Amino acid sequence: MFFVFSKILAFLITPIVWIVLLLSWGLLTKNEKRKKYLLRLTLILILFFSNNFIFDEMVRCWELPATEYKEVKKYQYGIVLGGMSSYDPAMQRAQFYRGVDRLIQTVELYRKGIIKKIIFTGGSGSILHPEQKEGNYINRYLLYMGIPKEDFLIESESQNTRENATLTKKMLDEKNIKGDFLLITSAFHMRRSLGCFRKVGLSVDPYSTDRYSGPRKFEFDHLIIPNISAMYDWTNIIHEIVGYVTYKLSGYLK
C-alpha cells in the first residue's frame, strides 16, 4: 500500500502537474480578476522551475558532496542502490538512465581496490510489472563487465529505499557479514539512503554519485534562458525531499 501511495504522490507533486492545473483553471474561470491572477502565477511557476541557476542553488544545499578517491578508506563491501534502469521486454534488455552512474562508479571503485565486493539492492519499481526485478538483469551486467560471481551479492525484492535497507540487512545477517560498508547512490538520494541504512543498524559511509550541482556559473544562458530539463530535475528533487520528510515522520530514518 505504501508503494502504491508513493507512486500517486510522486505524480501529484510534479511541477508540470501544478502548472497544467493552474493554467486550465485560469483559462476556464469566468472571473476575469481570478483569470489574470492564475495566468500570472502560471507564468511565474514556469519561469521559476525552468531556471537552471535557481535549481542549481537549491540542489547544492540538498545534495551530499562527492568524495575524492584519496579520502575514501578501503571497504570489504560497497552497497549500490538500484533505480537506474528499466527492462524493455520487446528488446529483451535493460535500458539505463542517469542513475547508472551509481553502477559505473561502483565498478570503478571495485577496479581500484577501494571495495573488494559489491552488493546491489533493487527490485521492481513498477506497480504493473513486479516480475521485472532490476537485480536480475544487473546480475547479468556485472558478469558481462567481468566481475566474478563470488565478488557480488544481489538483493532483488526491494521496491523502495526503506526496503533496500531492511532487505539488505536481512541478507547480510543471514550470511553473517558484518563491518563498515560504503553506500553508493545519487547525491540527491544520499540523505534518505543514509538514514534508512543506519536506522536498520548498518554502519555505512556515503559515496555520492551523479550530482546535479556543479561549479557555480554566472553565464547568461544559465541565469536567464528557461530550460525545460530543469523542470524535470525539479520533479526528482521535490520527490526526494517529500520522500525524506515522509520517511522521517514514519520513523524510517536515523
Q: What pLDDT score was predicted for residue 10?
A: 63
Q: Distance of alpha carbon 80 from its chain centroid, rounded? A: 11
pLDDT for 93: 81
Exposed / middle / buried, residue 214 (Cβ in 10 Å: 0-12, 13-18, 19+): exposed
Q: What is the pLDDT of residue 14?
A: 85
The answer to whether 131 touches 88, Cβ cutoff 8 Å, is: no
Q: Provide the pLDDT for residue 125.
A: 67
- Provide the b/e sequence for 242-252 (b: ≥16 CB within 10 Å): ebbebbeeeeb
How high is the pLDDT of residue 196?
A: 98
pLDDT for the residue numbered 2? 54
- Residue 13 pLDDT: 76
pTM for the predicted model, two decimal places: 0.89
**pLDDT at res. 131:** 75
| Residue 5, pLDDT score | 60
pLDDT score for 106 = 97
φ and ψ at residue 95, rounded to 5 degrees = -115, 130
Which pLDDT score is estimated for 4?
57
Enclosing H/E stretch for 77: strand 75-81
Ranges of each domain in the chain: 2-63+220-250, 69-209
> 110 and 87 in contact (C-beta within 8 Å)?
no
How far from 33 is each of 26, 27, 29, 37, CA to CA, in Å? 10, 12, 10, 6
Mean pLDDT by 10 residues, the chain (254 residues): 58 84 93 95 95 95 92 96 87 86 96 97 78 88 93 95 97 96 97 97 97 88 91 91 93 94
Contact 168, 155 (CB under 8 A): yes
* Share in percent of the chain as helix, strand, coil (round to 5): 55, 15, 30
**pLDDT (tens digit, 9 = 90+) per residue, 215-250?**
888 998 899 999 989 988 999 999 999 999 999 999
Task: Say which CATH class 69-209 falls into.
Answer: alpha beta
In the prediction, which pLDDT does 214 show? 80
